[in-house]
Amino acid sequence: MSKLNIGIILGSTRQGRLSPQVGEWIKKIADGRGDANYEIVDIADFKLPLLGEVDATEQATAWNEKLFTLDGFVFIVQEYNHSITGALKNALDYAREAWNNKAAGIVSYGSVGGARAAEHLRGILGELSVADVRVHPALSLFTDFESGSVFKPADLHLTNVNAMLDQVLAWSGALKTLR
């Protein structure tokens, strides 16, 4: 059986964002497992305007085409005002079928591990028929980032990241049979 394709989606797009550091960390752990094709998917690369404001057929097509190549996702989620970023919500809104019947894990960060943003995302994923797995690595801005900017994750997260990836792969494989 060919390997599953898993997209590691960076949820923030602001200049100076921390999400690339977290995404690269997940990709390194994931690549070390050798059990799927993992790639970083940066929302910023797709230059999606706010949905409906201007004609964005080209950007929307490129975004949907990328999502259609993926069997599952790991969302890198950061907490903005107790929820997900506007950029991630906008990107979620830009597709429907391309999300459906796939699995996702959530890796979040914030002052309380990004927990509130992660829980909001779970509600949105339900509407998009994305099955979000239980295990959720939650990183602290205070203890996993030096001076709030240089990512230095505590070792204890490794077990959770691998358990999350195990679940994402199991469900991504199972849901592929529905599509």
The footprint of ligand FMN (CB under 6 A) covers 12, 14, 17-19, 78-82, 110-112, 141
The answer to whether 44 touches 19, Cβ cutoff 8 Å, is: no
**CB of 42 vs ligand FMN, minimal distance in Å:** 11
Distance of alpha carbon 28 from alpha carbon 12, whole angstroms:
20
**Residue 61 or 149 with smaller CB distance to ligand FMN:** 149
**Residue 103 or 161 with smaller CB distance to ligand FMN:** 161
**Residue 77 or 161 with smaller CB distance to ligand FMN:** 77
Distance of alpha carbon 134 from alpha carbon 36, whole angstroms:
20
Instruction: Write the single-letter amino acid at 22.
Output: V
Structure tokens at 72: 């599952």
Query: Is the four-CA dihedral 49, 120, 113, 10 of positive or negative sign?
Result: negative
**Residue 131 or 141 with smaller CB distance to ligand FMN:** 141
**CB of 44 vs ligand FMN, minimal distance in Å:** 11
Q: Using only C-alpha atoms, what is the Rg of the chain?
A: 15
**CB of 79 vs ligand FMN, minimal distance in Å:** 4
**CB of 135 vs ligand FMN, minimal distance in Å:** 21
